Every structure is written in C-alpha cells, then in structure tokens.
Homo-oligomer: A and B are copies of this chain.
C-alpha cells in the first residue's frame, strides 16, 4: 500500500522534528567536549556542528542525497552558533559539571532518532538490510566520532565499552523487521528509535560492558 499524501506530509514533518531533537542533543555533547578542551569560540561552534550534523551529512554523502539537513533547515546553524557563543560568554564552569551527566539522556534520545531515520532513508533506496542498518549506525555515531577525532581523543564510542553503536545496530534491525512486516514508516520509526534509545538507557542504568580487545603490546 502506498502511503497517502497526508502520511507523506506527516512523515516529512516527523523527520524534521526527529532530526532537530537529535541534532540539539549531539550539539550539546559537542559544546561540552569543546569547553573541556578549552577550545576558543570558533572551535566550540565547529565541534558542536560536527557532533550535530556530522553523522547525517556523512550518511547523505554516502547515499548521494541532497540537500543536507543543515542546508534545508539553515535556521539550525544560527541556533548552534547562538548556543556556542552564548555558552562561551555567559556560562560558568559549575553549570557544566551538572550537564555532563544530564546530557546522557538527550544523547540517548538522539541515538535512537538518528538510527531510525538513517535506516529508513537507506531502505528507501533499496539498499541491502545490513547496509541500511549500518547507515543508521553511522548517522547515530559518526558525529560523536568526528567530535572526538577533532578534539584529539580516541572516540569514546570505540573504546569506553558502554554499548552505544550496538544499541543503534539493534534498533536498526528492528526497523528492518518492521519494514519486512509492512508496518507503516511512522510505526517502524517509532519501534527502531524506542529500541535503540531503550537499550542504551538500560545499558547505562545497569552498567553493562562490552568485551574489549588487548594484546601483549597494549597500552599499560
């Protein structure tokens, strides 16, 4: 069954809302990282932008999609700049101790939303399921990886053992499953996002850890 135009409109509006929320959460993680590294005002804004838009932009370059989210919705660029400049000018350090932990929750929401939208866009191009799921994972994780690479750290997502990309991976497969069962895109989106966000929240709450690799030549 083809989705009705009304569905299309709703879906498109939902997509915008989803990406906006996820962008904001990731931008905040970039803000924190940039402040912690004592970057200047430009550096903080750049790291916010990489964290917020890096994942979606990589996905769109790989899928050859245009326009990018930040080209279609340039207002978000202003919001990011205002946030970054405002944070540098007005915020005191004590506040950030607080937000550091608080940011885990919007970040988990962003993880779910980006996973779901990335998987959906890739499936819409008839890509193989594993590729579509990985596009969801890239969308959700690549912003954070870019943020950490530019800050000269080994990306947190690759080394802290706390499930993150794995949650996106599981969420992406939920989308594929729902799509296979012919659920509506909106429902599939919801299932995938809830799964990725939910597993992430549970993993954080219960302190689950992934196994790590090491060799005789490992650091320490």
- Name A residues whose Cβ lies closer than 8 Å to a Cβ of B: 32, 34-44, 46-47, 57, 61-62, 64, 66, 68, 70-71, 74, 77-78, 87-89, 93-94, 96-97, 100, 127-128, 130-131, 134, 145, 149-155, 157-161, 163-166, 209-219
Contact = CB atoms under 8 A, between A and B. Distances in A.
Contacts of A217: 36, 96-97, 100
Q: Which of A34, A42, A163 has the most CB of B within 10 A?
A: A42
B216 A41 contact: no
A154 B39 contact: yes
Nearest to A67: B127
Contacts of A66: 64
Contacts of A153: 152
A164 to B, nearest CB: 7
A74 B122 CA distance: 14
B40 A216 contact: no
A87 to B, nearest CB: 7
Nearest to A127: B71
Nearest to A216: B93
Contacts of A38: 159, 212-214, 218-219
Given A39-B159, A154-B151, A158-B40, A212 B88 contact: yes
Given A38-B212, A77-B131, A150 B155 contact: yes
Contacts of A34: 158, 213
